[in-house]
């Protein structure tokens, strides 16, 4: 019996794969046998050195339609929407520009990239997997990140809506909600003893997650092992949301 967690012969596109969680997802998919297209606006050189059978694709998701033609030009079986940005400010001082910038990348681009992927899959009468990257703030409010919180709530809802529409048509749409993960983005938090201790005290597992933890979960949702999983937002958070 073949390994249901292998991705041999599959081609995946991972957005925002230059560092952190996106890079780890690209590595995990590559190690599971997939050919990986690493897409984003930054250099992918470091990721390409780490990921077997990979290539780079320049896309800037500040333009929500950046990937509108990509899937017509390249056969892709697995789409991972990881690219995202954040803006921090008190809600009374938050600007329209900061709202729009975050929503464009984190939600609008996710929808239209999913749309382009599905249209191509339907045209070739093929199957496909979509893994969106949600957040703990798909379920919680947070503070001083109004557009990020709204966008990640939107990603969770959009994941369920698209699953409702496309599950019977051969596309699995699911999402991952990372918890507190050791990446460049969380370095300042981990370096602050008070914040670090407060976070660790809340996590039942008692430790920060590693980017590879998200990569492994992405492989699962992209693999045949998840054939009957649709519309799920899988928390990879050390138990944070269970507390």
- Listing DSSP states for 159-170 in one string gives HHHHHHHHGGGT
Q: Which of 232, 139, 226 is nearest to 179 (CA)?
A: 139
CA distance 82 to 14: 7
For the question of residue 148 being annotated catalytic, the response is yes
Q: Is 150 exposed, middle or buried (0-12, 13-18, 19+ CB in 10 A)?
A: middle
Closest CA to 4 of 159, 212, 224: 224
Contact 227, 201 (CB under 8 A): no
Environment class of residue 101 by beta-carbon count within 10 Å: exposed (0-12), middle (13-18) or buried (19+)?
middle
Catalytic residue chosen out of the listed positions 148, 166, 208, 240: 148
Question: Which of the 8 DSSP states describes residue 67?
Answer: T
Cβ contact 85:103 at 8 Å = no
Nearest of 41, 47, 36 to residue 78 by alpha carbon: 36
Cβ atoms 18, 183 nearer than 8 A: no
Residue numbers annotated as active site: 148
């Amino acid at each position: 019996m073949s390994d249901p967690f292998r991705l041999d012969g599959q081609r995946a596109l991972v957005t925002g794969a230059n560092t952190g969680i996106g890079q780890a997802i690209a590595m995990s998919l590559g190690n599971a046998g997939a050919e990986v297209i690493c897409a984003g606006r930054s250099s992918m050189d470091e990721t390409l050195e780490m990921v077997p059978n990979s290539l780079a694709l320049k896309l800037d998701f500040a333009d929500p339609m950046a990937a509108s033609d990509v899937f017509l030009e390249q056969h892709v079986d697995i789409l991972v929407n990881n690219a995202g940005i954040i803006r921090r400010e008190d809600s009374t001082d938050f600007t329209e520009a900061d709202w729009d910038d975050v929503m464009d990348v984190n939600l609008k681009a996710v929808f239209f990239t999913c749309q382009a992927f599905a249209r191509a899959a339907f045209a070739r009468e093929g199957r496909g997997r979509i893994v969106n990257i949600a957040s703990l703030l798909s379920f919680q409010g947070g503070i001083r990140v109004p557009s990020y919180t709204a966008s990640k709530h939107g990603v969770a809802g959009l994941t369920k809506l698209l699953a409702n529409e496309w599950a019977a048509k051969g596309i699995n749409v699911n999402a991952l909600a990372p918890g507190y993960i050791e990446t460049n983005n969380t370095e300042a938090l981990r370096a602050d003893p008070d914040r670090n201790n407060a976070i660790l005290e809340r996590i039942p597992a008692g430790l920060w997650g590693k980017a590879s933890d998200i990569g492994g979960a992405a492989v699962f949702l992209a693999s045949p092992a998840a054939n009957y999983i649709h519309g799920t937002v899988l928390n990879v958070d050390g138990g944070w949301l269970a507390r």
